[in-house]
Structure 1
């Protein structure tokens, strides 16, 4: 799920390659990887994981991936400033639609620039497709699944310590989902913006490999980064809670711990 700068640079001419720059349009227009299109994933927040809410998410995501031009034979690379949460969200979304040929640029454009690899400023247009992937329900969670299995699953809170302990409030309620453990997603990343190696990550995520783990944050972006870290380590049963605290913290009937 990670591609190195060297490997990406060697396939820039591949006609079956889609590169999506998930940073702001301002950053994109100041210089991006040749051929990259701009896709602002942060514009898409879904905090409704009722049955209808998930169906809406499926439809909107399918439209978004069609707009991006994804087809079965395309290799799709997302990048961010670093090995960040927006690129991770893109990779998770494609995996959710069973499109395995996707990865995140390790180290993002920061590493790319540091290595003096080519950049361009001209914008690139989309070549839309009619994308229809197969939904993989095994890597998504709604609030009901968590509520009904609080004692059975490992809940991983990828937010900052302040959000977790309730001193920073970003919803009607502050705190965290009961039993959740807090490992800030920033800890997945080295100082140079690349992903930590498996040995370093294993020390942080020291759980049995068959544990069912659900990751969450505020809007399921940081949680997607933690999802990738766990998948990289070989965890089989990992889900992202799509609604995250934006949903849970605003549903007053759901339990909260501080």
Structure 2
């Protein structure tokens, strides 16, 4: 277990954390935000085009320059601990964190708030004042070892008994078409609707074990455009899964390449 997912009280004991609110600007300004949080709306760190159209091989990652400008303008450096949150059980915030990870921000300095803004607002103070920010020159350092996998890696794993391919979408999406042999795990199954955060560890582990998604296997994640797998990736790494692959192109790229689809 590690501090990839942290409770609100964690902020009480850790000063100097850069808090990133990925909600829309009108929510950040109009509804309020966690005190000290800087706003980087979700749409700002998503590419407008997909890898199948651009040929970039990087799905909907925004590009190094765009991401460096976003974090730099928010006053974030590579040395900073970053905590992200949204108001959708953490799925958009997780995407921001995985994007930072893929561009080389140290993983031990990336944290997802357990719960979201609605849960925070019920128990804690909120603010309508944006913090004073001193811009930085954010430095991109691509890691040598990355969880990114491409379509060919997924294809080669279809018959690998030591790998489980996981579809994190809803049941109806899975039934309409999925990568052959993929196990369905809707990302929301690991979320508690009452607390808006993660379910208890033992409960999550039981759900995963039932699907054959176990730490002993390599886990390859996909959805449609890599948003939902971001949350599942953060959770699995939080639970100590050592070998989790992130198929950024996801089913959008897989289908565009004319690869096989299985229906239920």
Task: Tell me the TM-score normalized by structure 2.
Answer: 0.83
Q: Give the deviation of 1:89 after TM superposition.
A: 1.1
Q: Is the 8 A contact 2:25 2:41 kept in 1?
A: yes
Q: What secondary structure does 1:163 align onto?
A: helix
Q: Kindly provide the CA deviation profile for residues 9-64 of structure 1, in whole angstroms up to 9, marking residues without a partner as x.
A: 454x62xx321111122211121112222212345146317996146977714531
Q: Give the deviation of 1:118 after TM superposition.
A: 3.1
Structure 1 residues 126 and 58: alpha-carbon distance in aligned structure 2, compared to 1, 3 A threshold: farther
Residues 55-66 of structure 1 aligned to structure 2 (within 5 Å):
60-61=63-64, 63-66=66-69
Structure 1 residues 244 and 237: alpha-carbon distance in aligned structure 2, compared to 1, 3 A threshold: same
Q: 1:145 is matched with which residue?
A: 153
Residues 20-59 of structure 1 aligned to structure 2 (within 5 Å):
20-30=20-30, 31-43=32-44, 44-45=46-47, 47-48=50-51, 53-54=56-57
Q: Is the 8 A contact 1:178 1:255 kept in 2?
A: yes
1:226 to 208, 226, 232: 232
Structure 1 residues 143 and 33: alpha-carbon distance in aligned structure 2, compared to 1, 3 A threshold: same
Q: Give the deviation of 1:76 after TM superposition.
A: 0.8
Q: Note if 1:7 corresponds to 2:10.
A: yes
Q: What secondary structure does 2:23 align onto?
A: coil
Q: Give the deviation of 1:134 after TM superposition.
A: 3.1
Aligned-CA RMSD value? 2.5
1:187 to 172, 186, 189: 189
Q: What secondary structure does 1:139 align onto?
A: coil
> Which moved further from structure 2: 198-207 or 94-103?
94-103
Q: 1:210 is matched with which residue?
A: 216
Structure 1 residues 79 and 178: alpha-carbon distance in aligned structure 2, compared to 1, 3 A threshold: same
Q: Give the deviation of 1:81 after TM superposition.
A: 0.9
Q: 1:255 is matched with which residue?
A: 260
1:134 to 142, 154, 157: 142
Residues 147-166 of structure 1 aligned to structure 2 (within 5 Å):
147-152=155-160, 153-166=163-176
Q: 1:169 is matched with which residue?
A: none
Q: 2:114 is matched with which residue?
A: 106
Q: Is the 8 A contact 2:208 2:214 kept in 1?
A: no
Structure 1 residues 47 and 239: alpha-carbon distance in aligned structure 2, compared to 1, 3 A threshold: farther
Q: Note if 1:115 corresponds to 2:123.
A: yes
Consecutive unaligned residues of structure 1, counting only runs of 5 or more, are 167-174
Q: Give the deviation of 1:72 after TM superposition.
A: 2.7
| Distance in 2 (alpha carbons) for counterparts of 1:49 and 1:145 | 16
Structure 1 residues 214 and 188: alpha-carbon distance in aligned structure 2, compared to 1, 3 A threshold: same
> Which moved further from structure 2: 21-30 or 128-137?
128-137
Q: Is the 8 A contact 1:83 1:105 kept in 2?
A: no
Q: What secondary structure does 2:51 align onto?
A: coil
| Distance in 1 (alpha carbons) for counterparts of 2:61 and 2:168 | 24
Q: 1:86 is matched with which residue?
A: 92
Structure 1 residues 128 and 187: alpha-carbon distance in aligned structure 2, compared to 1, 3 A threshold: same
Q: Note if 1:243 corresponds to 2:243.
A: no
